[in-house]
Homo-oligomer: A and B are copies of this chain.
Amino acid sequence: MVLSPAVHEPPGPPRTAERCLESARTLSTPTTGGLPQVHTWLRDRARANEFTTTPVPFAELDGWSFAPDTGDLVHRSGGFFRIRGMRVTGAAGPVPQWSQPVIDQPEIGVLGMLAKRIDGVLCLLVQAKMEPGNINMLQLSPTVQATRSNFLRLHGGAATRYLEYFTEPGRGRVLADVLHSEQGGSFYRKRNRNIIVETDEDVPLHDDYRWLTVGQLHALLREDNMVNMDARTVLACLPWDTTEAGPDDAAAQDTTDVQSWLNDAKSRSSLVSRLVPLTEVEHWRRTERAIGHEDDRYFQVIGTAVRATNREVGAWSQPLIAPRGRGVVAFLVSRARGRTEVLVQARAEGGTPDTVELGPTVQCVPANFHGLPDRHQPRYLDLVRDAAPGRVLYDTLLSEEGGRFYQAENRYLLVEADDEVRDAATPPGFRWIPLRQLHTLVRHSGYLNVEARSLLACLQQSA
C-alpha cells in the first residue's frame, strides 16, 4: 500500500514540501537504526517483560466494586475512571434515544511525544508499551501516555518516565498541544492532551523506549496492530513542516466554510446526553462476568486481572470495554480536483464533548447493523469494503487504546473514490474537505474525532 507523494500536500511551496517529504521518508539515522533493528528491539522487549491479562468475574477485581446507591463500577480511591450510565435523547437516525454504560473520567490525560533532531532528522521517542487490552500485548505508544491519576501516582507505584518534559514549562519547543476527544461511543466527554515537545537535551534512554524517525513510524503504521491509538492521534497533530514550530502553510487555508458547515450540524442536532446511575441503564444486563446488551450487540464491560513486569505497578485489576465485533473505519479520498480531499461525515455521538465532530466517511461495526433494513445500513460501507484493490491506498488492522478496550481491533482503510462518486451530490451530513484544511483544524479542539485523526496519521504515511 503505497501512497504516491501527490497524496501529500499539493500544491504548496516546493521547498517546504520537499523538506517535509524528505524528513517523513527517512527510514533510519545512524542512531535509530533501520526497520529490522526496530523489529528486533520489539521482540526483545516482548521477551524481557512478562505481561498477562486474564478476564475475571467482577467480584475478583481488586479495589473495584459496584457502588451500592448507583450501581456504578468504581475504584476505591475514587480515581482512575468509573463505569457509569449515559442517557442519550434527541438523536437523529433510527434510534432517537437510548441508555448505555460509559466510561467517565473527568480528567485530562497526557499523550506526550518527545521529539529531537538526530543527524538532522526529526525523531520521536516511542515506548514499547504493554496494555491489558492489547490483542498482541505490545504496541508502540507515545513517550508518555498517562492519565492524571497515573502521573499523580494514585496507584502508589513508580513515577511516569519522561513526564517532566511535558509538565515543566520551558523543557523544549512545543510543536503541538491540543486537547482532543476520545471515542464518543464509549467515553463521556473524555479528552486528552496531545503534546509534541522538541528537545535539545541529552535524553537518557530506558530499554522500553527508542527514537524512531517520522518515516519509520509512518512505515510501521502499515503493520497490523503496531502503532497504538494514542501514538496515532499525536502523530496526526504533527505540523506538516516539522522544521518550523509554527502552523504550516496549511494554516493559510481558510477553514471558515467547513466550520460553518460543522456548526450548522451542531446547531441542528438535538442530541443531549447526560450521565445517569448505571442501574438506570435499560436493556443491558449484568452477570458475574460481564455487563452486556440484551441483543449481544455493541460491547461488553468485563473485568480483568493484569500482571506486568515493566509498568508502574506489578499487578492490578481493572474493567475493560470489549467490543462485540470488528469495526470498519474509512476515508474516501479523491485527487480529482488537483488537491487531496477526503469525504468527512458530521458525526454525532453521545459522549463527544460537543456532540458533533468530523468523522471518517465510514465508521461502524457492521455486526451491529445485522438484520436492520437497508435504509439503516451505514452509507458508503459497501463501497469501501468492496473497493477494487487498485483503489485501496491503505488497509490495516489497528487497535483502539488497550488501557480501556479489550482486543478492540478495527479495519482502517483509505480508498480512492472514482470520479462518479466524487462528482455525485453528497448526502446530507457528508462533505468533501481538502486535506490541508484537516491539517489546520486538527491543531484545535473539537473538530476531528479520534477515528478521523487516526486516518489522518495514516494519510501522512509515505514511502
User: Which residues in A have some Cβ–Cβ distance to B below 8 Å?
Assistant: 106-108, 110, 148, 167, 169, 174-179, 191, 193, 195, 245-247, 251-252, 254-257, 259-261, 263-264, 266-267, 270, 272, 274-275, 353-354, 443-446
Contact = CB atoms under 8 A, between A and B. Distances in A.
Given A251-B252, A254-B247, A148 B179 contact: no
B179 A256 contact: no
Nearest to A152: B270
Nearest to A261: B169
Contacts of A270: 107
Nearest to A274: B275
A90 to B, nearest CB: 9
A427 to B, nearest CB: 14
Contacts of A148: 267
B179 A354 contact: yes
14 contacts: A108-B266, A169-B261, A174-B256, A177-B256, A179-B266, A193-B267, A195-B263, A245-B254, A245-B256, A246-B256, A251-B252, A252-B252, A259-B443, A259-B444
Nearest to A272: B106
A261 B177 CA distance: 9
A253 B123 CA distance: 26
Given A177-B263, A195-B260, A353-B353, 14 more contacts: A107-B267, A110-B267, A174-B256, A175-B256, A178-B259, A178-B263, A191-B354, A245-B254, A247-B254, A247-B255, A252-B252, A259-B443, A444-B444, A444-B446
A178 B275 CA distance: 27
A266 to B, nearest CB: 6
A179 to B, nearest CB: 6
Nearest to A253: B246
Contacts of A245: 254, 256
Contacts of A178: 259, 263
A353 B189 CA distance: 11
Nearest to A191: B354
A89 to B, nearest CB: 10
A260 B354 contact: no
A177 B106 contact: no
Contacts of A193: 263, 266-267
A174 B193 CA distance: 31
Contact of A174 (B176, B247, B260, B445): B260
Nearest to A167: B264
The 6 closest A-B pairs by CB, nearest first: A177-B260, A246-B254, A108-B267, A174-B260, A444-B444, A106-B272
Contacts of A260: 174, 177, 195
Contact of A177 (B247, B259, B275, B353): B259
Contact of A354 (B167, B261, B264, B445): B445
Contacts of A169: 261, 264
A256 B237 CA distance: 11
Contacts of A263: 108, 177-179, 193, 195
A18 to B, nearest CB: 21
